[in-house]
Structure 1
Amino acid sequence: MSSVRVDGQGGSAQDLTYRWLKRHIATLPRDGGTFLTESEVAQQAGTSRTPVREALLRLEAEGFLQIVPKKGAFVPPVSDAEVRAVMQARELIEDWCVRRVVPVAEEFLAELGRLVAEQESLLDDPVAFIDCDRAFHRAIVRRAGNPVLADFYETLRERQVRMGLRAVANEENRARTVLAEHAAIVAALREQDPARAGEALAVHLSSTLAALHLPEVAGWTGGQSVAGLS
C-alpha cells in the first residue's frame, strides 16, 4: 500500500482519509480483489482508526468496496468485460442525451462552461477532478429530460468512477485531454449541432477506453471506429 500520508493537509481527518483511500483504491489491480484492514490503512495514511472506519463506510455506500465482518474491506475486481459493458451502455445513453439537448439554452451552456473551468482548477486533485467530470456528464443526461435514463445512468457512473479515477491518476496528461474533449462537446452544443456533439462525445468515450488500456472493440460506438476515451 502507498505510504502517502494525510498529515498536514487541510480538511477533517475523515475527509482526508476518504480521499486518500479513494485514490489508493484506484491504483489497485483491476483483475483481482483486495482486502484492506482498518489498522493497515490507519498506519499507512498516518491517522487513527476512527476516521478510517468512517471513510470505509462512506466508500461502501458509494459502491467502491464491501465491508466483511472480521475480515476487513473487500475491494472487488473490475473485469475488462465489465469495463467494456459499462462504457457501451454509457455511450448509448449519452449519445442520445447529448443530441436531445439541442437546441441548447445559454444558461445550460454557461453551466457546462463553469464545470469545465472548475475541472481545470482541479488538475492536481484526481478525486475532485473525477467528481467534477461526473457532474459534467450528469448535467447533459439530466438536461435531456428522461428520468428513467438519468436514474439508470447514475448506476453506471458509480461503477465507472474507479475506472476513471485510475486513468486520470495514473496517466500523464490524461486530465488535460479530458478537458479538451469536454470543451469540444461544449463547442458543438454552442453551435447547436447535434451530430457534431454526438461525434465529439464518441471521441471522448473512445479516448477513455484507450486510457483504461483496453483494446477497442470494432463497432462499439454505434458502428464507428474511434480511437481513444475518458
Structure 2
Amino acid sequence: MPAPARLPEATRPDGVQAKDFVYGYVKRLILDLVLPPGHIITEMDIATVVGVSRTPVREAFLRLDAEYLLKLLPRRGAQVTTVTARQIRELNTTRLVLELYAAREIVAHQVDLSTHLNALIDEQQAITDAGAGYPAVVACDRRFHTAIIEAIGNAELAHLYRSMGDRQQRTGVVALTVHAGRAEMALRQHRDIADALSRFDLPAAEAALEEHLERHSWPLERYLP
C-alpha cells in the first residue's frame, strides 16, 4: 500500500453541517486510498485540516466505524481498516450473482445496451490512457457494471447493487494498486461482456462475467492478506 499523502485542505460549504462534511471528507480519503489501509489518524489531524472542532470529527469517526471503514482506537484515534483478498472475492461473488441474473434478463428481453456500454468502455480507456488515477478508473468501471444492472428495470436489485458501491470503489482501487496491468485486463474483459450482451449470447455473457468477477480475483491472493 502507498504511504499516506498529505491531507488535502477542504472548505465546508455554507449550509452543510460540520459532522456531515467531515464524514464525507474522511470517507472519500479512505475510498480513494489517500488514507491507506492500516493508517492511523487522529481527531486533531482532521479537525486541523478541515477547520472544525473535534466533536464533529468524533461523530464522523463513529459513523465510519459503523461502516467498517475505520476501527476506533482508545486514546489513539482511528485506524483505516484493511482490505483482504477474501473480502474482494466475497464482494465479487455477490456481484456476480446479481450480474448473471441481469444478463439473463437482458438476453431474454433483448435489451440493447451496446451503445451505452461501448461509450463507457471508451470513457474508461480514455481515463486509463490519460493517467487520471485509479479512483477515476474504478468510478468508471462501476458505471459500466451498474448500467448492466439498471438495464433490466428492477429497482430493488439496482438499490441492492448500489449499496455495495463504496466497497466496490475501495476494493477496486486497492486491486489496481497491488496488481499491475489489471486496468487493461479489466477493459478487455469489459469488451467481451459488452460484445456478448450485444449479440444476446447468454453462454458467452455468463462466461465473460465469470472470468471478470470470479477468476479475475484469484491473483490478488498473492498480494493481499
Q: RMSD across aligned C-alpha pairs, in angstroms?
A: 3.8
Contact 1:37 1:71 in 2 (8 A): yes
Instruction: Say if 1:211 and 1:25 are closer, same or farther in 2 by CA, change over 3 A.
Output: farther
Instruction: Provide TM-score, normalisation by structure 1.
Output: 0.68
Counterpart in the other structure of 1:220: none
Q: 2:98 matched to 1:98? A: no
User: How is 1:1-230 mapped onto 2 (pairs within 5 angstroms)?
Assistant: 2=3, 4=5, 13=10, 22-24=31-33, 27-28=36-37, 34-37=39-42, 49-50=49-50, 60=64, 63=67, 65-66=69-70, 68=72, 71-102=76-107, 103-105=110-112, 108-123=113-128, 124=131, 125-213=133-221
| Alignment partners' CA distance in 1, 2:135 and 2:183 | 11
- How many residue pairs end up in the alignment? 200
2:91 alignment partner AA: V
Do the aligned residues in 2 keep the contact of 1:25 with 1:162 (CA within 8 Å)? no
Tell me, yes or no, if the aligned pair for 2:43 and 2:57 is still in contact at 8 Å.
Answer: no
Greater relative contact order (Cα 8 A, min sep 6): structure 1 or 2? Answer: 2
Q: Provide TM-score, normalisation by structure 2.
A: 0.70
Q: Matched residue of 1:172: which SS?
A: coil
Shift in CA distance, 156/6, structure 1 to aligned 2, threshold 3 Å: closer
SS of the residue corresponding to residue 3 of structure 2 reads coil
Q: Is the 8 A contact 1:26 1:162 kept in 2?
A: no
Q: What secondary structure, in the 3-state scheme, does the structure 1 residue paired with 2:40 have?
A: strand
Distance across 2 between alignment mates of 1:209 and 1:170: 12
Question: C-alpha distance in 2, partners of 1:70/1:153?
Answer: 37
Query: How far apart, CA to CA, are the structure 2 residues paired with 1:156 and 1:147?
Result: 15
Counterparts of 1:55 and 1:189, CA distance in 2? 46
Structure 1 gaps, min length 5: 43-47, 216-230
Native 8 Å contact 1:34 1:74 kept in 2: yes
Paired amino acid for 2:50: T
Q: 1:96 to 1:80 in 2, by over 3 A?
A: same
Residue type of the alignment partner of 1:157? G
Q: Which moved more, 1:89-98 or 1:18-27?
A: 18-27
CA distance in 1, matches of 2:92, 2:51: 33
Within 1, Cα distance between the matches of 2:77 and 2:68?
A: 13
Q: What is the CA–CA distance in structure 1 between the aligned matches of 2:57 and 2:193, rounded to whole Å?
A: 35
Deviation of 1:85 (Å): 2.5
Are the structure 2 counterparts of residues 6 and 151 from structure 1 closer, same or farther at C-alpha, using a change threshold of 3 Å? same
Deviations 1:155-197 (A, max 9, x none): 2333232221111123221101111100111111121212211
Distance 1:25 1:179, change over 3 A: same
